């Protein structure tokens, strides 16, 4: 039996330390199907990643939802489309839809008080620059119909105001069965997979691999965190992170990783082993399989070292201190890549560390 194409990288629902491994449907015991090889080839060649994320909820009274719909449609200037295929280009019709949603939410919760309950859930589907916007829109439409229709009311609007083509799908928070839409991480991953699948059907290279399957440990900063940093303000969590990194950088030697950090490293090691097992199996195949095996090994060798942001910052600060004191950095620090691509903003120790020598022990 051939391995399903999704199984070449899919992670189990339990993701804890050394127990995590890449599912492989039995590894080398079962041959990879051609579609699975194609998926694996896309992954190791770093095909564009499809993105599906929650961007917020409109809560409380009607005013928040009204403002959200105005923002999505630029006060009615952009065309919106409903789950029934209706095209809305008139602000008056948008107001009618708003009133319908508020009443329906109240009716389907059977008058139970909802306090600050959500009126709508906002979802954004996007792709990297240079992806054709019309195909992103078509894929998002199919995704919404397959994922939401028959259960929820929704409204979609395409935005062309950034380099990343993206579509906003706003969902009425209460479904036809009275249950609220509350997607978790597993739901978002499945949504990414179905969106990427539809993009591929339309001829667009797209993948939806989990961060762990790409060797990425650190999460991207939230929109609110980025907004604070862009205003030149250091968020409290970043300040505490930096202070802890500075303490670790001045320690006689870098501290041993904590249990959760060791779990991350063990998880990444199991993922590497799974990829390499696939490469070993493919190395005995034809020329195309052997090339894929080489690509997999390159992909694994290029995976970033599994360091948290604080750990990576501590390594960089320690390196700066040792250079200032005229010492060679020890091998355990210089062996760590100091800049890891696709992990958010570049770390800049020289901006954060001018006061470190002055705060060190006397005589230095």
Q: Cα 118 from chain centroid?
A: 23
| Cα–Cα distance for residue pair 126/131, rounded to 1 Å | 9
| pTM for this model (two decimals) | 0.69
Residues composing the chain: 364
**pLDDT higher for 332 or 66?**
66
User: Residue 318, exposed/middle/buried by CB under 10 A (0-12, 13-18, 19+)?
Assistant: buried
Mean pLDDT of 103-126: 80
Q: Which domains does the chain have, with CATH numbers?
A: 5-47 (no CATH), 51-201 (3.30.930.30), 223-359 (no CATH)
Residue 1, pLDDT score? 39
**pLDDT exceeds 90 at position 78:** yes
Residue 226, pLDDT score? 61
**pLDDT exceeds 80 at position 222:** no
* Range scoring the smallest mean pLDDT among 62-66, 195-199, 220-224, 319-323: 220-224
Residue 327, pLDDT score? 54
| Cα–Cα distance for residue pair 49/193, rounded to 1 Å | 10
Residue 198, pLDDT score? 97
């Amino acid at each position: 039996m051939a391995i399903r194409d999704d199984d070449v990288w899919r992670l189990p629902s339990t993701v804890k330390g050394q127990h995590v491994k890449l599912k492989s449907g039995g590894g080398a015991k079962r041959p990879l199907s051609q579609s699975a090889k194609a998926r694996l080839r896309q992954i190791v060649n770093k095909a564009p990643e499809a993105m599906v994320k929650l961007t917020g909820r409109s809560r409380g009274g009607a005013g928040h939802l009204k403002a959200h719909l105005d923002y999505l449609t630029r006060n009615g200037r952009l065309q919106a489309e409903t789950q029934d295929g209706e095209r809305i280009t008139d602000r008056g019709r948008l107001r009618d839809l708003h009133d319908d949603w508020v009443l329906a939410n109240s009716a389907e919760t059977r008058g139970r008080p909802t306090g600050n309950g959500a009126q709508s859930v906002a979802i954004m589907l996007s792709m990297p620059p240079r992806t054709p916007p019309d195909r992103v829109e078509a894929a998002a439409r199919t995704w919404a119909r397959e994922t939401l229709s028959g259960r929820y009311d929704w409204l979609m609007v395409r935005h062309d105001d950034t380099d990343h083509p993206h579509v906003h799908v706003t969902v009425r928070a209460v479904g036809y069965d009275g249950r609220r839409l509350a997607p978790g991480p597993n739901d978002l991953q499945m949504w990414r997979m179905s969106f990427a699948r539809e993009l591929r059907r339309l001829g667009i290279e797209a993948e939806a691999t989990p961060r762990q399957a790409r060797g990425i440990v650190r999460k991207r900063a939230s929109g609110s965190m980025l907004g604070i940093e862009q205003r030149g303000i250091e968020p409290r969590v970043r300040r505490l992170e930096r202070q802890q990194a500075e303490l670790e950088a001045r320690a006689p030697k870098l501290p041993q990783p904590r249990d959760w950090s060791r779990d991350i490293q063990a998880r990444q090691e199991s993922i590497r082993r799974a990829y390499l097992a696939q490469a070993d199996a493919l190395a005995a195949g034809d020329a195309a399989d052997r090339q894929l095996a080489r690509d997999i090994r390159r992909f694994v060798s290029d995976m970033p070292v599994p360091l948290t942001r604080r750990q990576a910052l501590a390594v960089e600060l320690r390196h700066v201190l040792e250079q200032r004191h005229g010492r060679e950095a020890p091998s355990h620090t210089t062996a760590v890549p100091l800049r890891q691509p696709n992990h958010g903003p570049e770390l800049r120790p020289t901006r954060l560390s001018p006061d470190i020598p002055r705060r060190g022990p006397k005589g230095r």
